Amino acid sequence: MLQSHSTHYFIGLMSGTSLDGVDGVLARFGAPSEPPAIQILAHASCAMPTALRAELLALNSRHGSDELHRAALAGNALSQLYAQVVEQLLTSSDMTPRQIAAIGAHGQTVRHQPGLHDGCGYTLQLLNPSLLAERAGITVVADLRSRDVAAGGQGAPLVPAFHQQVFAPPSGVGLVLNIGGIANVSVLPPPGSAEQVTGWDCGPGNALMDAWCQRHTGQPYDANGAWAASGQVLPALLAQLLREPYLRQPPPKSTGRDLFHMDWLEQQLQGFADAAPVDVQATLTAFTAQACADSMRHHISRAQELLVCGGGALNGHLMAQLQQRLPQIRVTSTDSRGLPPLQVEAAAFAWLARQCLLGQAGNLPAVTGAAGPRILGAIYPV
Ligand SMILES: Nc1ncnc2c1ncn2[C@@H]1O[C@H](COP(=O)(O)OP(=O)(O)OP(=O)(O)O)[C@@H](O)[C@H]1O
Ligand SMILES: [Mg+2]
């Protein structure tokens, strides 16, 4: 266990639903009572190798046989990629494994079914934490979502508690939108208020835009949204996409590639066979922006700004689409609060590992719907 009065260094590793790669940070945390809460000492990333990406996508979409064996091998390959990111972080910060209290490692979600069978579902992130501990020589905290699901929660989003630590609003309600493969929002109460932090998955983030872009341009994503910006939004298609029932479900709720995948998009496009690919891309970008804006509509009047993180914050066209739909508030990246958008989720997993070693809850029942606060994660000591 950690001593709660001293400074600690943690690594957070995240590979999200975009399957673009692994982002890692090495973070310094002060004693729980000390501000500032977190300082990022290094950031590193590794792109997802093409073959591993294809295999993770196949496992996610139930393609192929012998899934148990293939999942184990994919978990091993991912752990080696995680270990490479750890090595980069240690090198660039000139630190040794012994100085790091633990790694918070997310793993790769290949199934997310929290509400199956009478609320007793599961969420599955592939990883071999033992192999990562062995390669890195650092304690690993992994499987950070299952305990919340076991307590009846969604197991997601887990980041709102961390967002509250680092982005608590100076006045009014704080809104933090993470646009990864899926988009999730955190609603942070005004200072001094007795309201609880809330948050949920809004719907698709980059996942559909990426898939369409890959198919029609051969590029893994639409850099800065330039391709979408050169097309026209198709109002009938946008209206059809916005009819997806998930978008109207009340929170707590979470989603993933289990719902928003290429087959889903192809079904939606059935009546739009003549649509130009560039116009579909423009419409998918508008759809992401509209679904996110709609999801926050009850909170906009009390907020001054929307902080955006995740790779979507680097898509200038998407950011402009969001700003257009939310004229009452300023839409800006988390860079404006000192934390670059690609570091936020990884930093959250460093924080979650710390919570685990401190024996403190990582989930927020008001967000996930779990029966109560729970210490998240399984510890693989060195
Ligand atoms: N310059 C850019 N222009 C447009 N989009 C970008 C750019 N850089 C990154 N992206 C988008 O961001 C995605 C990666 O974002 P991110 O790593 O936050 O998502 P993720 O891995 O799904 O994470 P998580 O599930 O934790 O939210 C890419 O797949 C791409 O769609
Ligand atoms: Mg990513």
Within this chain, do residues 69 and 179 fall inside the same structural domain, yes or no? no
201 lines ligand 1 (CB under 6 A): no
Is the pTM for the entire model greater than 0.85? Answer: yes
Do 239 and 275 belong to one domain? Answer: yes
Cβ neighbours of residue 140 under 8 Å, at least 6 residues apart?
102, 103, 105, 129, 130, 132, 133, 379, 380
Helix/strand/coil for 359: coil
311 pocket-lining for ligand 1 (C-beta < 6 Å):
yes
* 44-89 pLDDT tens trace: 999 999 999 999 999 998 888 999 999 999 999 999 999 999 999 9
What is d(CA 316, CA 285) in angstroms, rounded to the nearest whole number? Answer: 11
On whether residue 1 sits in a domain, the answer given is no
Cα(31) to centroid(ligand 1), Å: 32
Query: Is the pLDDT assigned to residue 296 strictly greater than 80?
Result: yes
18 lines ligand 1 (CB under 6 A): yes
Residue nearest to atom 26 of ligand 1 (CA): 16
Instruction: Compute the distance between CA of residue 116 and CA of residue 198 in angstroms, rounded to an integer.
Output: 23
Q: Is the C-beta atom of 210 inside 6 A of ligand 1?
A: yes
Q: Does residue 3 belong to any structural domain of this protein?
A: no
Residues 247 and 348 in one domain: no
Domain assignment of residue 225, yes or no: yes
How far apart CA 123 and CA 61 sit, in angstroms, is 15
Q: What average pLDDT does the segment 177-204 reach? A: 97
Shared-domain flag, residues 223 and 143: no
Cβ 14 under 6 angstroms from ligand 1: yes
Is any atom of ligand 1 closer than 6 Å to the C-beta of 88? Answer: no
Is 216 found in the same domain as 360? Answer: no
How far apart, in whole angstroms, are the C-alpha atoms of residue 240 and residue 107? 33
166 with 277, same domain: the answer is yes
Residues 180 and 232 in one domain: yes
Per DSSP, 223 falls in state G
Q: Is the pLDDT of residue 119 over 90?
A: no
Same domain as 116, residue 237: no
The answer to whether 178 and 310 have CB atoms below 8 angstroms apart is yes
Q: Which domain holds residue 269?
A: 160-337
Confidence of residue 208 (pLDDT cuts 50, 70, 90): very high
Please tell me whether residues 176 and 261 are part of one structural domain: yes
- Looking at the structure, tell me whether residues 78 and 214 fall in a common domain: no
Residues 347 and 333 placed together within one structural domain of the fold: no
Å from CA of 14 to ligand 2 middle: 7
Assigned domain for 284 exists? yes
Of 28-37, 104-113, 219-228, 311-320, least confident by mean pLDDT is: 28-37
Residue 180 burial (10 A CB sphere; 0-12, 13-18, 19+): buried
Which helix (H) or strand (E) covers residue 188, if one does?
strand 182-188
Question: Which ligand is closest to the CA of 312, given by its number?
Answer: 1
| pLDDT, tens digit, 9 for 90 and up, residues 132-164 | 999 999 999 999 999 999 999 999 999 999 999
Residues 233 and 256 in one domain: yes
Ligand 1 atom at minimal distance to the Cα of residue 342: 18
Please provide the average confidence, as pLDDT, over all residues in the chain: 95
Q: Hey, whose CA ends up nearest to atom 29 of ligand 1?
A: 18
In the reported structure, the alpha carbon of residue 371 is separated from the centroid of ligand 1 by a whole-number distance in angstroms of 32
pLDDT band at 1 (very low <50, low <70, confident <90, very high): low
Ligand 1 atom at minimum distance from 18 CA: 22
